[in-house]
Amino acid sequence: MPITLESRVRRMQVFNLPHEAFCKGACACSETTVVIVAENPRTGDRAPKHVAKRVPASMTWLARERRAGLPSVLLEVPDVKAAIARGYLRVVEQTPDAADVPAALAPIAPAPASPSSPTAAAPSSPTTPRANTTAAPTTSSAPAAATKGT
């Protein structure tokens, strides 16, 4: 469910997003190679060793900045929770996803028309030509029976 957060202070704020709290479905951490000095305990030799580490993502808000479309999992990060509690950040809007809307609140789709109904036979698009549904006058060779004055 996307949310909109707004900074309420006149200074920049940076929030680290720890892996345990923020990376629920897909990991947002970046991978960095760190060089450490490893010592061999048998020989005492030291050698550089390259180790891959995950670095958590971070969010930076400028003074009085408003950001829309943020993931709702951001509300579970402890630093963001604390900033909201202190009044440094404010939740402006929280909109539900289409998948999160309960069936009772979802818009009801119209039932398909049965083939015997007159509206099913007529095309619904105004650009397609419609068939003439009015009866055309027919001429008959029989004399008119309802003539007056004879």
Provide the whole-model pTM.
0.54
1-5, 22-26, 72-76, 144-148: which range is least confident on average? 144-148
The CA-based dihedral angle spanning residues 46, 51, 79, 21, taken in that order and rounded to the nearest 10 degrees: -140
Contact 88, 81 (CB under 8 A): no
Amino acid in the structure at residue 67: R
**Confidence grade of residue 96 (pLDDT, cut at 50, 70, 90):** confident
Q: Residue 149 above 80 pLDDT?
A: no
Arithmetic mean of pLDDT over the chain? 78
pLDDT of 11 reads 96
With a CB cutoff of 8 Å and minimum separation 6, the contacts of 25 are: none
Classify the phi-psi angles of 149: left when phi > 0, otherwise alpha if psi is within -120 to 50, otherwise beta. Answer: left
Count of CB atoms situated within 10 Å of the CB of 79: 18
Contact 18, 81 (CB under 8 A): no
Count of CB atoms situated within 10 Å of the CB of 111: 6
Across 10-39, average pLDDT: 91
Residue written as token pair 């958590």: 56
Name the DSSP letter for residue 98.
T
pLDDT of 40 reads 92
**Confidence grade of residue 27 (pLDDT, cut at 50, 70, 90):** confident
| pLDDT tens for each residue of 33-47 | 999 999 999 999 999
Cα 58 from Cα 82, distance rounded (Å): 16
